[in-house]
Structure 1
């Protein structure tokens, strides 16, 4: 099993800075740093899209506030579905016996 390399936010930002320089360019930066050109391109797009919010945590992509809210709502929905299922079963049991 191969382990996936993770890079710090600072490393990614510095790589992007170097890639943006006309005298160096993305291909040379990727080669010199030992990263793929596609990874560097992905980092550049993420930095352009998310600005200073890009690259939080341990090298993983950050969730946007909207994505975080969707995730929270999905968890809440699952809890409500489970609670509803319990109530439906309890009501069925009570209905069959005629009393609690």
Structure 2
């Protein structure tokens, strides 16, 4: 018999994390919420690392604001490199025509 994987939404996870900071006995809280204590600790660690970016929906990648900024800058750099390469080729073509 296969064990069904439970999927918890972002709101549930955030509420569980908030409650875990308010309560002293995390194992008891986890039991009350129907989850395991290690799962709750994992959610807490994720929330501490990514804060508002924690628990993304639809398989989005969790990234810190700095990682988002780096990804944006890398995309802009790649676009600029492609434009540069196109212009280099155009200069080469026009220099052959002008002879």
Scaled to the shorter chain, the TM-score interval is 0.5 to 0.7
Considering Cα pairs closer than 8 Å and 6+ residues apart, tell me whether 1 or 2 has the greater RCO. 1
Partner of residue 55, structure 1: 54
Give the aligned CA root-mean-square deviation in angstroms. Answer: 3.4
- For structure 2, the residue ranges without an aligned partner over 5 or more in a row are none
Give aligned pairs, total: 93
**CA shift for structure 1 position 63:** 2.4
Q: Do structure 1's residue 67 and structure 2's residue 31 form an aligned pair?
A: no
- Matched position secondary structure for 1:25: helix
**Structure 1 Cα separation of the partners of residues 79 and 40 of structure 2:** 40
1:54–1:25 distance in 2 versus 1, CA, 3 Å? farther
**Structure 2 Cα separation of the partners of residues 47 and 15 of structure 1:** 11
**CA shift for structure 1 position 56:** 6.2
Q: Do structure 1's residue 22 and structure 2's residue 29 form an aligned pair?
A: no
- Matched position secondary structure for 1:7: coil
**Structure 1 Cα separation of the partners of residues 14 and 6 of structure 2:** 16
1:98–1:54 distance in 2 versus 1, CA, 3 Å? closer
Partner of residue 45, structure 2: 45
Deviates more, 1:16-25 or 1:87-96: 16-25
